[in-house]
Amino acid sequence: MVLGGLLVVPIGLIMAMTGQATASPTPPADTQLSAARARAVVMGVERSLGFEPADREFEKLGYDIESRIPGTGKLRFIEVKGRVSGAPTITVTRNEILYSLNKPDDFILAIVEFTGEDTHRCHYLRQPFQREPDFGVTSVNYDLAELLARAGAPG
C-alpha cells in the first residue's frame, strides 16, 4: 500500500518546457578577493585623508586596518566589509564587535559598496554596535541598508 509520493522536477526543465528563459546561475563570489579589494579601497581613502594605514587583516585582531594619525601616534582601528550594492546583510564576528565596544572612539566600520566592476562607494560608520553578543554567539548578521543609513562619508 502506497500512502504518499514525491516527484522532483528540476526548475530548469520546467522553465524550458514552458518556454521561459532559464536564469544562468550567479558565479560564487571570491570572498577573499572581494575583501582584499575593499581593504585596498579603504587604505587608499585613509592615505588620501592624510593617515598612515597598515593592513592587519590576517592577524585577527578584531579589525582589518590600523591607521596612524601623523604627529600624534594615535590609531584608528578600521574593520572593512565589502559588499555588492543591494546585498541584504553584513556578517560581523564576535571579536570585531567586542573590539569596537572596547575602543568606541577609535573604531570605524568601513563599508565598501561595490556598484559595478570598477566602481564603488565607501561609507564610514562610527560606534556601529551598541551591545556585545551573547556568550555563545560567534557572528551576527546586520542589515546592510540600516548600517548604510547610519554611515557617512569617510573622515
Domain ranges within the chain, ordered by starting residue: 30-150
Supply the pTM of this predicted model: 0.80
pLDDT for 5 equals 63
pLDDT in tens, 106-147: 999 999 999 988 899 999 999 999 999 999 999 999 999 999
Task: Return the higher-pLDDT residue of 31 and 41.
Answer: 41
Task: Return the higher-pLDDT residue of 85 and 50.
Answer: 50
Residue 31 has pLDDT above 80, yes or no: no
pLDDT for 80 equals 98
Q: Please give, one letter per residue, the 3-state secondary structure of 80-132.
A: EEEEECCCCEEEEEHHHHHHHHHCCCCEEEEEEEECCCCCEEEEEEECCCCCC
| Residue whose grid cell is 518556454 | 19
The end-to-end CA distance of the chain, in Å, is: 72
Q: How far apart are CA 1 and CA 150, in angstroms?
A: 61
Please give the backbone phi and psi of residue 130, each rounded to the nearest 5 degrees, phi first: -100, -25
pLDDT in tens, 62-117: 999 999 999 998 999 999 999 998 999 999 999 999 999 999 999 999 999 999 88
Considering the four listed CATH numbers 3.30.70.3280, 1.20.1260.10, 3.40.1350.10, 1.10.1740.10, the one that applies to the domain covering 30-150 is 3.40.1350.10
Give 86's Cβ-side CA count (13 Å radius): 2
Q: Using alpha carbons, select from 32, 90, 89 the residue that is nearest to residue 57.
A: 32
